[in-house]
Structure 1
């Protein structure tokens, strides 16, 4: 029992460190870009945040069933397609097609923009919506106390990011952001239902969405290797570091 509680505590620490790196890097972006340039800052940010994300994912894969098994719905009819459909939808929110993928590796100069079309019409904070949906589907499937701790940490970070992101955009864009905020909603579909937004299906037909669909297929195929990946992490230096 002590070991399982230990793995949950480590996960919380790793999530806090990732949140500090990710949200802290976002807070420093304007000042850092003014000093070293947008491309150099993006490369530094990626060099720090991507490895921290890999560590979090690795620890999660190795310990996802730790702790108490609070429920087990894996044999319930229809559970597998429901989890996969929910996860696929969560990816459409987590990795929306509004982003220019070439800016991630700084092939193109990274820029801060106000987006007002596509997935933003549904929610101004699609990553938070996607993360909550991913947590919901995976918590249903796994049902462990470790999973609940992981979800609590991930959702808390993304709720903070909702406030933090709005604050940064307000400071940068002023009245233009106020106009965007007034015409959109954080909660999905609220602005659509109350008439502030109107969806246009053509805004969702983009090459990046095809890439997301391919990624979902790859993840489906790769799930067969999760037990081996988890065992690899358990036998790695990472496990020794936090033991």
Structure 2
């Protein structure tokens, strides 16, 4: 217990009535001594109040403030973070066997994906695209239908996650989730690549000086927002038990929903550059899906983490930098260090690699004839 006494008079007047200021050691002594000292202080107050009415202290106010800290842990929880430190990667805690399993699983997944979906001679990907394309002659409509199918399955399974994990376990549910979502995502991406210039041209600004560099930089930045889930690749591949995380540092300080922000940046940059109706349709569908994800994501986190999520929500924002600008989010002086971590460096390398691999991606997509 800590007690503080504020007396609205001068120190010299206070000493004239025989009060001795306690030393610093008295505040760190045992509880019994603290109680005795507090009792002595109260007696001094009583004597002062009963003193002569002509006393300069008569009628003055004495304010006693007492604060009780129930436990050190509760204080730390109140003032500190309740979420997780994002993008932490401790090399000493890694197991070689885990990354061997990850590599093996990744190889198996890519092989099965190619045989069962991508390869036109054995997979069902082309049949799926043909079935959706038969619904409309409009590339814009087909693009929106593909996004709607992917969004419905992806968000639907995400919403069913708690129940699904209880029924079949965390790892089997992750395999089910990825096994259905990944082929649909590949189909949507390939269709967009193959038909991105098939729509009605609405504007043409590709010759604008400096525009390519500006949009390239925007796309590069978008990937730092798009993939916060890759902070733990071992969970993505179900090598480690998958968890629903409540991140609170790094990119989360800027926006609580970085994937939505990254998708908006990516869509705007590509739509400005391409400038046709297919790009507009794709961007509309993707942004709508991620805006729904903002609501659905907050709902799932609130169910999972309760008051801890409300605490994180109170000092973060959906709109980038909003919580920082209005003072709810206090950036540490070494904030930049939260980005100097291996996952962010990995995202940087993969983003640059994807840019230089654009010709290969476009050629591979074209050869599928989806």
Calculate the TM-score normalised by the size of structure 2. 0.61
Greater helix share, structure number: 1
From 264, 281, 286, the equivalent of 1:149 is 281
1:16 is aligned to 2:151: no
1:202 correspondence with 2:334: no
TM-aligned CA deviation for residue 97 of structure 1 = 7.1
Residue in 1 that maps onto 2:301: 169
CA distance in 2, matches of 1:155, 1:214: 25
Q: Could you say what secondary structure the match of 2:256 adopts?
A: coil
**Does the CA contact (< 8 Å) of 2:206 and 2:212 recur in 1?**
yes
Is residue 317 of structure 2 the alignment partner of residue 185 of structure 1? Answer: yes
Do the aligned residues in 2 keep the contact of 1:42 with 1:110 (CA within 8 Å)?
Answer: yes
Deviation at 1:98, TM superposition (A): 7.3
Higher-RCO chain (CA-CA 8 Å, sequence separation at least 6): 1
Contact 1:97–1:208 under 8 Å retained in 2: no
Answer yes or no: is the 8 Å Cα contact 1:62–1:233 preserved in 2: no
* Structure 1 unaligned regions, length at least 5: none
- 1:220 paired to 2:352: no
Separation (CA, whole Å) in 2 of partners of 1:204 and 1:96: 12
Kindly indicate whether residue 250 of structure 2 is the aligned counterpart of residue 115 of structure 1: no
Distance in 1 (CA, whole Å) between partners of 2:339 and 2:146 is 34
Measured in 2, the distance between the counterparts of 1:229 and 1:70 equals 27
Change (3 A) 1:5 1:148: farther
CA distance in 2, matches of 1:98, 1:60: 24
What residue is the counterpart of 2:272 in the other structure?
A: 140
Please provide the CA RMSD for this pair: 1.7
Identify the residue that residue 60 of structure 1 maps to in structure 2.
192
Query: How far did 1:230 drift?
Result: 4.2
Is 2:182 the partner of 1:50? yes
1:229 aligns with 2:364: yes
SS of aligned partner of 1:67: coil
Please say if residues 98 and 115 of structure 1, whose CA atoms lie closer than 8 Å, have aligned partners that are also in contact: no
How many residues in Structure 1 have an aligned counterpart in Structure 2? 233
Kept in 2, the 8 Å contact 1:62–1:230? The answer is yes
Q: Does structure 2 conserve the Cα–Cα contact (< 8 Å) formed by 1:192 and 1:198?
A: yes
Q: Distance in 1 between matches of 2:143 and 2:322?
A: 33
Contact 2:230–2:236 (CA under 8 A) maintained in structure 1: no
CA drift of 1:189 comes to 0.3
Stretches of 4+ moved more than 3 A in 1? none
Q: Distance in 2 between matches of 1:98 and 1:6?
A: 35
Contact persistence 2:144–2:281 (CA under 8 A):
yes
Q: Is the 8 A contact 1:124 1:186 kept in 2?
A: yes
Q: Tell me, in whole angstroms, the C-alpha distance in 2 between the residues paired with 1:10 and 1:214.
A: 33
TM-score (structure 1 length as normaliser): 0.91
Deviation (angstroms), 1:99: 2.7
Deviation digits for residues 88-107 of structure 1 (CA, Å, limit 9, x no counterpart): 10000001277312100001
